[in-house]
Structure 1
Amino acid sequence: MRLRNKPWASEKIGQYPHYVVPNPEECKGKWNEVFQNENPLHIEVGTGKGQFLLGMAKQNPHINYIGIEVYESVIVSALDRLIEAELPNFKLLNVNAEELEKYFTKNDVERVYLNFSDPWPKKRHAKRRLTYKSFLQSYENILVDEGEIHFKTDNQGLFEFSLMSFSEYGLLLKFLSLDLHKSDFEGNIMTEYEEKFSQKGQRIYRCEVKYRESL
């Protein structure tokens, strides 16, 4: 994906600390104080322009959401949407997904969403895939016991890799669809990529997995 440079993005992000959380490492273990409630927290890793979480936050006001996006030029689009919507249960982090444990601790998060992640198709890049075992370990270290991952992609290769990765890690499969838009799944919120790919007739794959209860 080629990103359009937005040199003004950093300054704008800094103007909205109540939406794009500054110094999120200081919030580790205290996200209920940031949102000022005890509602469960769901995060999306690679939130892009924010369409998915915006829809989720509107649909579920009793759940707190954090969108994580490393690129300033992308997250600023999510910020624009959030400014317009003024949702109290949706915040953004402009950080790298490889460093989640800097910002969250065990039991901070109830669910992780992975939507249309970069497939990194070359075999030598497998470790960069967000469903690789090192990422699964990182998610486990911030999730509640039996926390969940909800995963969507249009890429069959990534989906097959991810199912194998989930299985090898010991995750339990709760839901599986090999063609989401032709299934009876209800309440689906589409991402920007999902809209684009589905309009072209491409199949959307989706699954839900959960971690086993700690002994």
Structure 2
Amino acid sequence: MRLRGRKGILEEIEAQPELIVLNPADYRGKWAQRFGNDKPIHVELGMGKGKFIGDLSMRNPDINYIGIDMYDELVRRAAEKARRFREGAEGATLANLQLVRFNIEQIEQVFADGEIERIYLNFSDPWPKTKHIGRRLSHAGFVTKYIKMLNAEGTIHMKTDSKLLFEFSLNSFADLGLRLRNISLDLHAAGIREDLVLTEYETKFIERGMPIYRCEVVIGANALQRAVVKP
């Protein structure tokens, strides 16, 4: 993916240090200090233009959110969108949102063991060629990193329009012995799920009549205990 943005993008994101983090490895194990509280931390890996993570942070002020992408232009757009959404919204602040520019391939450099509660993988690049399988964000090489980062309440929430990626992901999670729940092969078949926040891509795919695949992966010990179906 190559993005062409206007001149001055780097300077623009550098001018927003309260919202945008360009040196996230410095906060490894210290994100609670960055937010100034001990609220749960939810992270979107590959946030795109930031609609999803921005909406969530407005809906849920008791949760801290971090959106990560490697492109300056997407980080800039996400920041612009977050500020615009809050204009005129009573009591809306940016206190529970951080936007990070970083390459997810080294995500273990950003979060310490047990530091976050939830990971969102929304419409990640499916990398359809066999030689690129290891780049898929649901590949075991990535998932084993996520497992370490997640705490006792930890879960992964995944959505995609790619059947290939979804089937691969289900197998990847199963091969690691992880518990799955809320698996859907057509998330909005009965109507748009108003209880869930949509991404930009998701809205477009729904309008085209394309199915959205979704699942949740239960990682943390406490989350697993609650997920067990009792007789």
Interval of TM-score (by shorter of Structure 1 and Structure 2): over 0.9
The one-letter amino acid of 2:103's match is N
Structure 1 vs Structure 2 CA RMSD = 1.6
- Picking from 92, 97, 118, the partner of 2:125 is 118
The range that moved more, 181-190 or 199-208, is 181-190
For 2:136, the aligned partner's letter is R
Secondary structure of the corresponding residue to residue 188 of structure 2: helix
Q: TM-score, normalised by structure 2?
A: 0.88
* More off after superposition, 110-119 vs 72-81: 72-81
- Work out the number of aligned pairs and report it: 214
Rounded Cα–Cα distance in structure 2 between residues aligned with 1:128 and 1:32: 29
Q: Return the match for 1:166 from 152, 173, 176.
A: 173
Q: Distance in 1 between matches of 2:190 and 2:178?
A: 23
Number of the residue aligned with 1:29:
29
Given that residues 19 and 82 in structure 1 are in contact (C-alpha distance below 8 angstroms), is that contact kept between their aligned partners in structure 2? no
Residues 1:93 and 2:67 are matched in the alignment: no
After alignment, is 198-207 or 175-184 more displaced?
A: 175-184
Q: What displacement does 1:41 show? A: 0.1
Distance 1:71 1:187 in 2: 29
Q: Does the 8 Å CA contact 1:171/1:212 hold for their aligned counterparts?
A: no
CA contact (8 A) 1:170 1:211 kept: no
Tell me the distance in 2 between the aligned counterparts of 1:183 and 1:157: 23
Shift in Å, 1:23: 2.1
The answer to whether residue 134 in structure 2 is matched with residue 134 in structure 1 is no
Deviation for aligned residue 1:212: 5.6
1:10 maps to a residue whose letter is L
Q: Aligned partners of 1:207, 1:168: CA distance in 2, in Å?
A: 16
1:154 counterpart residue number: 161
* 1:167 partner amino acid: A
Contact 1:41 1:64 in 2 (8 A): yes
Which residue does the alignment assign to 2:226? none
Residue 208 of structure 1 corresponds to: 216
Residue in 2 aligned with 1:73? 73
Query: What are the ranges of 5 or more consecutive residues in structure 2 without an aligned counterpart?
Result: 87-92, 223-231
Code of the aligned partner of 1:139: Y
Shift of 1:103: 1.3
Q: CA contact under 8 A between 1:120 and 1:126: conserved in structure 2?
A: yes
- How far is the alpha carbon of 1:6 from its aligned partner? 3.2
| 1:123 CA drift (Å) | 0.9
Aligned to 1:187, what secondary structure does the other structure show? coil
User: What's the offset of the Cα at 1:190?
Assistant: 0.6
1:109/1:144 contact within 8 Å kept:
yes
Q: Deviations over 1:164-210 (max 9, x none)?
A: 00100111012111111125855111101001111111001110011
Tell me if the contact between 2:39 and 2:63 (Cα under 8 Å) persists in the aligned partners: yes
User: TM-score scaled by structure 1?
Assistant: 0.94
* Percentage of matched positions with identical amino acids: 45
Q: How far is 1:2 from its partner?
A: 4.4
